Amino acid sequence: MKQSRRKFLKITGLATAAGAAVGYSDTLTAAARLRRRGNPAPDAIYGNAPAPEARINDSGQVVPNADFTVASTVCIGCTTHCGVRVKVENKSGTVVRAAGNPYHPLSSDPWLPYETPLRESLRWTSNHDESGLENRSTACARGNVVFDKIHDRFRVLTPLKRAGKRGEDKWIPISPEQLIEEVVNGGDLFGEGHVDGLAAIRDLKTLIDPDNPEYGTRANQLGILGTADEGRKDFMVFRFLQAFGSKNYSGHSSICGLSMRAGNAAFLSDFKKYPHLKPDFEHCEFLINFGTSPGQAGNPFKRQGKLLARARSEGNLRYVTVTPMLTNSDSIAAGDRSRWMPIRPGGDLALAMGMIRWIIENGRHNAAYLSVPSKASMERVGEPSFTNSSHLVVVTPGHQLEGRVLKASGDAGKEDFLVIDSTDGQLKSADQVDAARLEVDETIVYGGERLAVKSSFTLLKESAFRFTLEEYAQESGIPAEEIADLAHEFTSHGRKVAVDCHGNTMHTTGFYTTWAILSLSALVGSLNYKGGMSAGGGKFTDMKGAAYDLTDYPGKPKQPGIRIDRTRIAYEKTSEFKRNQAAGKPYPAKDQWYPFTNAIETGLITGSINHYPYPLKALISWNANFIYGESGGENTLAEALKDPKASIPLMIAIDPFINETSRLADYIVPDSVLYETWGELNPWGAWLTKTNAVRYPVVTPRQATFANGEPVCMDSFVIEIGKKLGLPGFGPQAIKASNGSLHPLERPEDFYLRVFENVALDAKSVPNADDEEIRLAGLQDYVPRLRRVSPENWRKVAYVMARGGRFEGKEGAYKESHLAKKYPGMISIYSETVGTSRSSLTAEKYSGVPTFYGARLVKGDLLVKRFPRSEYPLTAFSFKSNVVSSPNTASSRLRDLRYTSTIDIAARTAESLGLAHGDVVELTSPGGRIEGLLRVREGMHPEAIGVEHGFGRSGEGAITVQIGNETLEGLRFRKSGASINLLGFADPDRPGRIALSDFAVGSNSRQVIPVRIRKLPS
Ligand code: SF4
């Protein structure tokens, strides 16, 4: 070992040099003393660190260490989903380390050219010639330890069935076969009466409610809730839910960033695909982070932190972070390049509208860009994007076209918009005009009628001018001169400016907040510009590709009906509306409908509990922890779910842990964890080139197995259900190849390896992996499976797996001053979809342009009116750390790094209230309370109370559970800290118990919680 250390340079670990040791004699002495404590570590310098996975010898050759396998896969320690390389100890079969995958753009910048041999990639990241310093590819602190939860003793490894009442935390282990039999065929499963199984629920003929035929057939009474898409959502939705015949799937957006996503959808004129923008961090010159804190949280957490750090030190970046609390985004080292702007929680909308006002008032908007009215004119004049600023909106009160955008054909499906040509003042097709009149407020003749019209830009201007800068300052807590300064700087860098927002918009007016923030970027024209805003770099075709169409299969049923969360449809299209209209009282509906929202997670639960529009008969909750994750989830939903008859009769949780939500289930199906899982996915944000990452089990899943040897997990569970139910798309003749042949879906690999094959074959297919690459990537054991599933292309699939996916080179990011992958659609300054929609509760018309609304209840009452400052003088908001995240409580090592959370308050506020650092305090909201330790700090807005998200758990090992004869005692430290979501409360103006939400799109509100604080006796 000593001999080899002299001979070799390490790939990983610290560089050693005899000369350097002289200067570190104190440190070495201390290390030597430390080494004498407990069991001696195997190495004096590197302690218990595992040996390197490979070395570079004196000739510069890579010599792999046969004790380890290094596999390229994806970390799902947070929703960033970085490409990583995990080091697996062959003897124990356990993961001992995670590092970045140098081929993956989220982990390296620049990333390795895709055709680089694997062997060379090991040298590239090594200390050889110090190249590893330049090319380092990393996992973050969380990614480096979170895999310990694979071996957490609280993992569910066999199917569990509840033994007592729901939520009593008593379970019995059952066999995988019993699980499938009971959930498919139902029966008197719990001694509480008959429960329909999935076979009875899958009725594709009988209407749920003949009086409301638009609700669809009874198959819609199965709902599935997922979480952030970690690469398996398509399997669940395309292969299972759609084969079952239900429309009711929702991910976790509505408790994470739905306001942001919906605001992006409005801005980008696409409420179907819900695209969203991120800054081009690398070349941006001025960036405003509204609520987001790169370097502390956000997505992509690691990449944006790295690019931000580099851009501010080596590039030209200046940035402002607008948050109620000083975060890690701000850095003294960055000097005046970074600035923190303390804002009142929820004040972002007022700030953005104030900036819009100042920019327009001072003529700092890019009028020439905004005057380009169509894609055709955009291409003629060489712009990379265009807006509908000059499009004409009918404003004649009461006219049937009121709120509509004028089109030559009048056809809603066409995009033949009319504008006024600024050169001759004539009404023309937008396609024929290069510069349209921007400000319009006049009467025109259209279809023989005189119609009052205003341009989108005029409507935005009027909206922004409704309030003075001083009034916006009052609402945001940012002085008027600072709003003006910020707007001035934002408009002083040409197109190389960007805005970002995410979790800060999760409040009652978050949708309009996002739209207003994004409109700032439209005013300067930064979309699709290098250094501006990007909708992402796209992907290689995966699901519907060269080899297989994995979305379709023989016998796939139609899915009639509407969603239970009342999204994607206007109330005015329902039978209820028609009946009410016929009765002379079209409004109110029984509750709110969301015509331009794509999905609301807890809408599946509340819709069922309130029987509006219809109840679910079964719910599959797949790694979805809405009880903990939704502000008010515990307060509004948990009790109701405990009664199966009054809520959802059959609740199945697919989850590797018993958490706040799965503890309320009837069955828990164990799922795989991290590096045990399959998946294929694209980054969520801030990537500029085609990127597909793949994930396959690199360690053996620990769960019980089905009879065919497959570990029980989400994928194998739904395959077994699909086969038992006889669903189309499962079993021997299930998967459609492009040559018309059919292939089996019996195991997860039958699906995922074919997704990988599509990726490998897209466009110019990837090369074949040779035997050495297969060996270096540790894929030898996969060869028989690869040969079976992809007999012709298995070496190409192996090539993709060996690199952890398929990645376009960085040279594909830009074309001169524009992004190479441009968002192709129109920017909506005015949205006809929004501007012609109404609240189904009050008939209130939604503003078709960004506008200021105060924090409010769904029917319009301001929070400050209903919950006055005299009673609730402070406002609580949540934030995230760079270490802990809520799905990772079961990582004990992570909690070693960060044991607990605090309740944060500004020093001067604490002083005025007679509170001191370390006091035990109670926060009380209109619907909940929490206790915690007070942290008094500088760098807080004086009206704000900050609570870090991810603590105060009652799941994942934090509570005691009974499984069969075994009692698993909960761990105190996993409980520690406060959960801000316990402060959430129901909107008092809505029927049923529905947590406070965005009035227009229904996303959960957790950033503007009125609270009061008091010291508790210690
Ligand atoms: S940011 Fe960290 S925890 Fe998140 S996916 Fe990347 S390495 Fe894993």
- Three-state SS sequence of 492-558: CCCCCEEEEECHHHCCCCHHHHHHHHHHHHHHHCCECECCCEECCCCCCCCCECCCEECCCCCCCCC
Mutate to test the pocket of ligand 1, among 76, 107, 296, 301 (most ligand atoms within 8 A of CB): 301
CB 233 within 8 A of CB 714: no
Q: Do residues 417 and 430 lie in contact, with contact meaning Cβ atoms separated by under 8 Å?
A: yes
- pLDDT band at residue 2, thresholds of 50, 70 and 90? very low
Average pLDDT over residues 997-1012: 97
pLDDT at 344: 96
| pLDDT, tens only, 149-190 | 999 999 999 999 999 999 999 999 999 999 999 999 999 999
The 10 Å CB-count burial string (b at 16+, else e) for 841-870 is bbebebbbbbbbbbbbbbbeeebeebbeee
- One-letter amino acid at 369 equals Y
From ligand 1's centre to the CA of 297, what distance in Å? 11
- Distance between Cα 881 and ligand 1 center (Å): 13
Query: d(Cα 608, Cα 776) in Å, to the nearest integer?
Result: 52
Question: Using CB atoms within 10 A of its CB, is residue 820 exposed (0-12), middle (13-18) or buried (19+)?
Answer: middle
Give the mean model confidence (pLDDT) for residues 278-289: 95
Predicted local distance difference test score (pLDDT) of residue 930 = 97
**Is the distance from the beta carbon of residue 283 to the nearest atom of ligand 1 less than 6 Å?**
no
Residue 128 has pLDDT above 90, yes or no: no
Please give the Cα distance from 80 to 85 (Å, whole number): 15
Mean pLDDT computed over every residue of the chain: 93
Q: Report pLDDT digits (tens) over 766-783.
A: 999 999 999 999 999 999
Residue 879's nearest CA partner among 949, 957, 954 is 949
- Measured from the Cβ of residue 741, the count of other Cβ atoms closer than 10 Å reads 10
Cα-to-chain-centroid distance, residue 580: 38
Does residue 503 register a pLDDT over 70? yes
Alpha helical stretches, state H, 158-197:
176-185
Is residue 331 over pLDDT 50?
yes
* Most ligand 1 atoms within 8 A of CB, residue of 72, 73, 75, 884 to mutate: 75
- 904-919 tens-digit pLDDT: 999 999 999 999 999 9
Lowest mean pLDDT of 32-46, 420-434, 598-612, name the range.
32-46
Note the pLDDT tens digit of each residue in 421-465.
999 999 999 999 999 999 999 999 998 999 999 999 999 999 999
Sign of CA dihedral 810, 814, 820, 826: positive
Helix (H) or strand (E) holding 376: helix 375-381
pLDDT at 11: 43
Task: Please check the confidence at residue 840 and state whether its pLDDT lies above 80.
Answer: yes
Q: State residue 19's pLDDT score.
A: 36
- State phi, psi for 360 to the nearest 5 degrees: -70, -45
In the beta sheet, which residues pair with residue 89? 68, 94
Q: Determine the atom of ligand 1 nearest the C-alpha atom of 139.
A: 7
CA of 102 to the centre of ligand 1 (A): 14
pLDDT in tens, 726-758: 999 999 999 999 999 999 999 999 999 999 999
Minimum-distance ligand 1 atom for the alpha carbon of 78: 4
Confidence at 7, pLDDT banded by 50, 70, 90: very low
Query: Which atom in ligand 1 lies closest to the alpha carbon of residue 138?
Result: 7
The Å distance, Cα 400 to ligand 1 centre, comes to: 52
For β-strands 691-695 and 548-549, DSSP reports them as: unpaired
For residue 21, what pLDDT is reported?
39
Calpha distance 933→547 (Å, rounded): 58
Measured from the CB, is residue 294 less than 6 Å from ligand 1? Answer: no
117: left (phi over 0), alpha (psi -120 to 50) or beta: beta
The stretch 335-343 carries a mean pLDDT of: 90
**Gap between the Cα atoms of 233 and 624, Å rounded:** 12
Instruction: Please tell me the distance from the alpha carbon of residue 78 to that of residue 82, in angstroms, as a whole number.
Output: 9
Q: What span, in angstroms and rounded, lies between the C-alpha atoms of 320 and 302?
A: 19
In terms of Cα–Cα distance, which of 103, 91, 160 is closest to 135? 103
The predicted pLDDT at position 8 comes to 37
pLDDT attached to residue 36: 54
564 lines ligand 1 (CB under 6 A): no
As given in the structure block, the two tokens for residue 81 are 């989903």
302 lines ligand 1 (CB under 6 A): yes
**Distance, CA of 431 to chain centre:** 36
pLDDT at 506 over 80: yes
CA of 637 from ligand 1 middle (Å) equals: 31
User: E-assigned strands of 60-150?
Assistant: 62-64, 68-74, 83-89, 94-100
Residue 5 pLDDT: 36
Burial grade of 106 (CB within 10 A; 0-12, 13-18, 19 or more): buried
Q: Each residue of 631-644: b (16+ CB within 10 Å) or e?
A: bbbbbbbbebbeeb
Residue 866 has pLDDT above 90, yes or no: yes
Tokens (6 digits) for 550: 């994995």
Model confidence band, residue 4 (pLDDT cutoffs 50, 70, 90): very low
The sign of the torsion formed by the CA atoms of 103, 105, 110, 115 equals positive
Rounded to the nearest 10 degrees, how much is the dihedral formed by the CA atoms of 196, 198, 203, 204? 160
* Dihedral Cα 109, 115, 120, 124, nearest 10 deg: -10
Q: CA-to-CA distance for 437 and 256, rounded, in angstroms? A: 39
In sequence order, the 6+-apart residues with CB closer than 8 A to the CB of 462 are 454
Ligand 1 centroid, distance to 452 Cα (angstroms): 53
The answer to whether the CB of 80 is under 6 A from ligand 1 is yes
Contact in structure between 843 and 859 (CB atoms under 8 Å): no
CB neighbours (10 Å) of residue 410?
12
pLDDT at 133: 74
Q: For 921-941, what is each residue's pLDDT tens digit?
A: 999 999 999 999 999 999 999
- Report the pLDDT value the prediction gives residue 58, as an integer from 0 to 100: 83
502 Cα to the center of ligand 1, angstroms: 18
pLDDT at 14: 32
pLDDT (tens digit per residue) in 208-258: 999 999 999 999 999 999 999 999 999 999 999 999 999 999 999 988 899
Q: Average pLDDT for residues 559-583, to the nearest whole number?
A: 97
| Position 400 pLDDT exceeds 90 | yes
618 CA to centre of own chain: 25
Band (35; pLDDT cuts 50, 70, 90): low
From the CB of 81, is ligand 1 less than 6 Å away? yes
Residue located nearest, by CA, to atom 4 of ligand 1: 78
Distance from the alpha carbon of residue 151 to the mean position of ligand 1, in angstroms: 19
Is any atom of ligand 1 closer than 6 Å to the C-beta of 306? no
Q: Of 298-307, 620-629, 761-770, where does mean pLDDT reach its minimum?
A: 298-307
Q: How far is the CA of 969 from the centre of ligand 1 (A)?
A: 30
565 close to 224: Cβ distance less than 8 angstroms = no
Backbone Cα Rg of the chain: 29
Q: Is the pLDDT of residue 951 over 50?
A: yes
The pLDDT value recorded for residue 37 is 58
pTM of the model: 0.94
